[in-house]
Structure 1
């Protein structure tokens, strides 16, 4: 594309920011517009469930770049306004605030929203979700003035907040529907390890929990379970997953299915509209088909692919997915996707809280989760990316240096 064209990015999160930053870094001189529905300038979301809740980060420190970055790089940043309509024929977008922007190319980086509870009492005061800075600010204030916290959902967000709240001296209960924590993301070994760790810092963990309703006068006071048990609480955090924001794309007639469908170059069913980040459903060789990822890594790397495609440099998106989660003193790092695992082996020492779990499917290494083992994680990323599958016996043998297996 030429430097007289206009690129409009809808969504001012990690992916939307990265698209514009990469375009400018690559020398694009055309007009760039980012439109975000939050009043904040683009910021990092991971600290919201960790450092921010512990008052170790603030609104400024989590910004991806300071405000002057956008003016210095001639990026028009529109905050606090929501795009309500895309006119593909006229190539315009219209916002709730009545503004209209023309585009030559459009990028959808609309992200996700928290999945909501649909049970009785889910609209009571004191029932929180966590996605945005405003969510986090409200949650932090509420945690500071309340003692008994129930977290519905034993995934990454729920467990990160649980560890933070326990560290602040709160009484915390985690209720997980499945039989184990983080069931879709980690092995049974790691699920049990994190359950034991959370319990060791004072968190009450209940798996197989069936919640029927929340009750209270105006503010939530009790969580009711199917088995008849009730749990007293002052505050509830709902962390039961996220839904992709695809309504705008659907209304514009773009192909969607659990996300905005894109090809390996991040192009949608309209060649002038691209998409990146949590909202996309893309071909993923590590999943063996289409997949929707929710991670910082995916947002950044797919956004870079968007920028390359816009600049005429068609670089396919085939990057091994990786992720991390900090829960108190424990850092979990994962690479690959543990889909269809039929064997896994452990390397390291669970008692020392330092180990890795290697997932195999039909003899092929497909994923690795590392706990307090950054060195293992870095080697694992190289193994997965290169398609190297060392035999499980060598992986689990501590007298075999892991990086030596890169030559397998």
Structure 2
């Protein structure tokens, strides 16, 4: 019991002061007090950390007597208690329960002696506890939020950033307000599973990263000073961009052009953009788990998730990544690299036979899995999680469909996303039954003066039909186009967005169009040489610049290949793969009705503009080997140079 008292010494105490005045009895204060040392002088405020976290309802009544008065019947003394033996029975029951509780605690402390030591709370721990109680909002109240705004953007991601940049470029004095449910200003998401883990000094501590060209940049698009305080927006003659953080739009009235925030505030608009992005999917086996299990299961989408995973990684020895897509595979490789010096064991589990199975042909997917294993990830393909339970007090035991078990400290689910369309039902907006997302026309308009962009938009592609895309470049392009159309430019969506991924040092690719493993593919591969190591992906700012400028591709001369090792074209199905020794680099064409609908550049970089030009063409190519030469995968250009 002495140990129990020691543990209680650092616990969180709630001090509720009740003030009863006449017939109005209210709770006057609710405070959180942290008592960190039993020897602390309680009269000293320096040794106590105290925060007023929230106020209770002042109208709540309590049955306490009013202040005494000479004429009040409450001055009559209470009668002496009756000689009732029931109090002895109650006291005996309390003593019995306390004794049993003490015995169970003693038994548990002997089995888990490390649990007896209560960790000393730091100032950061206290701040975290307070943040859990008080939701961050900026501004703290909606009192000074304008009741009308010309341009309203719902969502604080990349699409909204691209939209307000386009609006301000075309209408410099525009007033734009972004409503974001996150606590931070708009930032880019791709580095969260890539570069930010590879430089601990920059990425982990400063939220900065180095691009492939060596340039350093922040994960945030703009410094805090760029954004205008919302309280100054109404009087700003030259307009500006404000981001109200920690707020969520819960209702959208399209006819009245009005939204309602989660605190009840109503705001009308002239033009509105829905850029609510997507939300991570979760497995049923985890959704049904106990609360204690759920404390060790996470998803990965935001910078808050990054900070959470980073903190857990620091005190863990093993982690399971569930999922084999872009995010799951990138995160597995990144955490394996980051945890190399920390002896962190990284597992990756999924039901398919290889990584990136939904986008890569089967042979290339399985080859990629081998490369990921070489960087230290323990990949367990063709396995589904059938059960999960607490193991050894503070770990998770994952039961797999193959009969094996995996013991880890925590789990990150990365099994894909679904569009955030919470506003659709009450706003009577159309959702695509097959692809999901808000249905918009070629100008990204869902209804009059209402647009959608980014992950949440299901748009019409004149070349490839109706689509929904969840990639950074699409968020940039669609957000920019929506912003331009909000100011009246009326441009159709014609751009073919690209995406890229890096999985260790051996695998990197860029792609454009429909990249779907269910489509037939034609692949041309070549061996890597010294020229390939001098090239990498376009930096993020160059990708955005390329997306904005719609660079034209000059006509390139097709050079006959004289290399005696030049591979032949092979049509690839799950049962057929190219007859080559390795897949170091190459071009994979995705076909539909003898037309190229997607191009994947496998360890071939900075050629995406060529792929975009080919994809925009309506030509039917009879010799794809000649088309592949446009990408110079046989290095004829380098040899001539």
TM-score by shorter chain over 0.5 = yes
Query: Cα distance, 1:22 vs. partner?
Result: 0.5
2:626 pairs with 1:394: yes
Secondary structure in 2 matching 1:142: helix
| Structure 1 match to 2:509 | 332
Q: Equivalents in 2 of 1:95, 1:219: separation in Å?
A: 39
Distance 2:631 2:179 in 1: 54
Partner of 1:132: 302
Determine which structure has more spread, i.e. the larger CA radius of gyration.
2
1:259-286 deviation line (CA, Å, top 9, x unaligned): 1111110010x21211100011111245
Aligned equivalent of 2:194 = 50
Distance 2:405 2:195 in 1: 31
1:101-120 → structure 2 map (5 Å cutoff): 101-119=267-285, 120=288
Distance 1:292 1:110 in 2: 14
Aligned twin of 2:438: 260
Alpha-carbon offset, residue 121 of structure 1: 3.0
Tell me if 1:359 matches 2:555: no
SS where residue 373 of structure 2 aligns?
A: helix
Asked if 2 retains the 8 angstrom alpha-carbon contact of 1:127 and 1:220, the reply is no
Residue 298 in structure 1 maps to residue 468 in structure 2:
no
Aligned to 1:145: 315
Give CA-to-partner distance per residue, 1:96-116, whole Å, 9 cap, x none. Answer: 134332101111000011001
Cα deviation 1:190-219 (Å, max 9, x = unaligned): 312321110111212222212112211575
Q: Under a length normalisation based on structure 2, what TM-score does the superposition of the two structures give?
A: 0.59
More displaced, 98-107 or 336-345?
336-345
Q: How far does residue 124 in structure 1 lie from its aligned partner after superposition?
A: 2.4
Contact 1:343–1:361 under 8 Å retained in 2: no
Separation of aligned partners in 1, 2:184 and 2:327: 21
- Tell me how large the CA RMSD over aligned residues is: 2.5
Aligned partner of 1:166 among 312, 321, 336: 336
8 Å CA contact 2:274–2:451 kept in 1: the answer is yes
1:86 maps to 252
Judge conservation of contact 1:19–1:304 (CA < 8 Å) in 2: yes
**How far did 1:383 drift?**
1.5
Residue in 2 that maps onto 1:347 = 525
Per the TM alignment, residue 93 of structure 1 is displaced from its structure 2 partner at its CA by: 1.3
How far 1:402 sits from its partner (Å)?
A: 8.1
Q: Which runs of 5+ in 1 are unaligned?
A: none
Task: Name the CA shift for 1:361/1:82 in 2 (closer, same or farther; >3 Å).
Answer: same
Match of 2:354 among 170, 180, 185: 180
Per the alignment, in what secondary structure is the counterpart of residue 358 of structure 1? strand
Q: CA deviation at 1:28?
A: 4.7
Q: Distance in 2 between matches of 1:81 and 1:343?
A: 46
Which residue, 408, 414, 424 being the options, matches 1:233?
Answer: 408
Q: Secondary structure at the match of 2:600?
A: strand
Q: How many residues align?
A: 399
TM-score by length of 1: 0.90
In 2, the alpha carbon distance for the partners of 1:53 and 1:213 equals: 30
Distance 2:468 2:631 in 1: 38
| Equivalence map 1:5-84=2 (5 Å) | 6-54=150-198, 55=200, 56-57=202-203, 58-59=206-207, 61-71=218-228, 74-84=240-250
Q: Deviations over 1:331-367 (max 9, x none)?
A: 2211111345223112323747333322223322221
CA contact (8 A) 1:221 1:235 kept: yes
- Partner Cα separation in structure 1 for residue 160 and residue 631 of structure 2: 45
- Gaps spanning 5+ residues in structure 2: where? 1-147, 209-217, 229-237, 528-580, 637-641
1:30 to 1:397, Cα distance in 2 relative to 1, 3 A: closer
Q: Is the 8 A contact 1:347 1:397 kept in 2?
A: no
SS in structure 2 at match of 1:246: coil
Which has more helix, going by share of residues?
A: 2
Cα deviation code 1:121-148 (max 9, x no counterpart): 3852221110011111001111122121
